[in-house]
Structure 1
């Protein structure tokens, strides 16, 4: 998945239904509001609530400063 992918405009967090940020270096999607990261496996976003992982404050600051 790349930043210009039109799919990014319609993908939403399964928990708060808000937009997600693409983390290209980590091949993941990130919800900065809930501090949750969702993996992209073989080009397919894994957007089940159980697929997301909680990110701690230190990691959140690192991800949002990129």
Structure 2
């Protein structure tokens, strides 16, 4: 999934129905994830398919929340 993918504009968190941030996978990793900063929940992307069932999301601890927000901000800045 790419940051300019039109699907990203219509995807929403299954719990609060709000927008999600795309977090590309770190270098050398595959997949990436979609992140809800309001609920601190991360949803994996497996083989290019977002896993947006409430049970597939995982709660993110506060320290990791800050790192994910920084990663999302970096991803925005590197867009062409």
Once the two structures are superposed, residues 5-57 of structure 1 have per-residue CA deviations (whole angstroms, 9 ceiling, x without a partner) of 00000000000000000001251000000000000011110000000000000
User: In the comparison of the two structures, how many residue pairs are matched?
Assistant: 66
Considering fraction of residues, name the structure with more strand.
1
> Which stretches of structure 1, 4 residues or longer, exceed 3 Å deviation after superposition?
none
Q: Which has the larger radius of gyration?
A: 2
Q: Which residue of 2 aligns with 1:44?
A: 49
Unaligned 5+ segments in structure 2 are 27-31, 72-80
Considering fraction of residues, name the structure with more helix.
2
Could you state the TM-score of these two structures normalised by the residue count of structure 2? 0.80
Q: Secondary structure at the match of 1:65?
A: helix
Give the aligned CA root-mean-square deviation in angstroms.
0.8
